[in-house]
Amino acid sequence: MSAEFGKAYWEERYRGHTALHRSGPNPQLVAEVGDLRPGTALDAGCGEGANAIWLASHGWRVTAVDIASTALRHAREYAETFGDDVVSRIDWAEADLTAWTPAEEHFDLVCAHYVHPAASRQIVFRRLAAAVAPGGTLLIVDHHPSHEPALSHATVPAVHITPAELAAGLDSDRWDIAVAEARTRPATDSDGCENTLHDAVLRARKRP
């Protein structure tokens, strides 16, 4: 993965756009997690917080981690508009997922949406999988290879991944794969243009 997607890249990106991801929670998160009983959640690479806020609004106790302090500042401000209950359910943390290791087998849900760490994505995903408690859920949503190269920052093949590649990182003795799919969804980009996004979605349950 290129160093292009390191901390400096993301800080600059969030400085340029004050509300980059405020269009609401990711539809894949809503579809995959909406029926789960709330517990503890880790949102890895939380950006400006839309997914963490949605989880907190639905009763989850969330640890939301991002490398970009600018994103976290926007996220905190955004969360405040949802009231004290939501604010009290989220711990925001600035950390580099390539260096920070979450507590093992701790979270009922670990999710990551479009996180392309500058160092090895496989190592980061392995740590995220290890952080899921027995019986808990891992949800990874990322850019599928058929994602239009002209859209957003997803211009280099290194950010793309297939559902099969995501699933291959999980030990089949420990995980049940519930969803490993390519999906499309409509989205409005930061310039206000309507587009079709191609997602790779993995939802898996760690065996109790």
Residues that bind ligand SAM (CB under 6 A): 10, 21, 26, 45-47, 50-51, 66-68, 71, 96-98, 113-115, 117
Supply the minimum distance, in Å, between the C-beta of residue 134 and ligand SAM.
25
C-beta of 96 vs 165, nearer to ligand SAM: 96
C-beta of 151 vs 167, nearer to ligand SAM: 151
C-beta of 190 vs 207, nearer to ligand SAM: 190
Supply the minimum distance, in Å, between the C-beta of residue 68 and ligand SAM.
4
Indicate the residue whose CB is closest to ligand SAM: 47
Could you give the CA distance from residue 125 to residue 198 in angstroms, rounded to a whole number? 20
Could you give the CA distance from residue 44 to residue 65 in angstroms, rounded to a whole number? 5
C-beta of 45 vs 169, nearer to ligand SAM: 45
Supply the minimum distance, in Å, between the C-beta of residue 106 and ligand SAM.
18
| Contact in structure between 56 and 90 (CB atoms under 8 Å) | yes
Q: Which of 46, 48, 38, 40 shows the shortest CA–CA distance to 17?
A: 48
C-beta of 19 vs 134, nearer to ligand SAM: 19
Instruction: Kindly provide the b/e burial profile for residues 115-131, where b requires at least 16 CB atoms within 10 angstroms of the residue's own CB.
Output: bbbbeebeebbebbbbb
Supply the minimum distance, in Å, between the C-beta of residue 89 and ligand SAM.
18
Supply the minimum distance, in Å, between the C-beta of residue 157 and ligand SAM.
16
Edge-to-edge order in the sheet of strand 90-94: 90-94, 61-66, 40-44, 107-113, 132-143, 194-206, 175-188
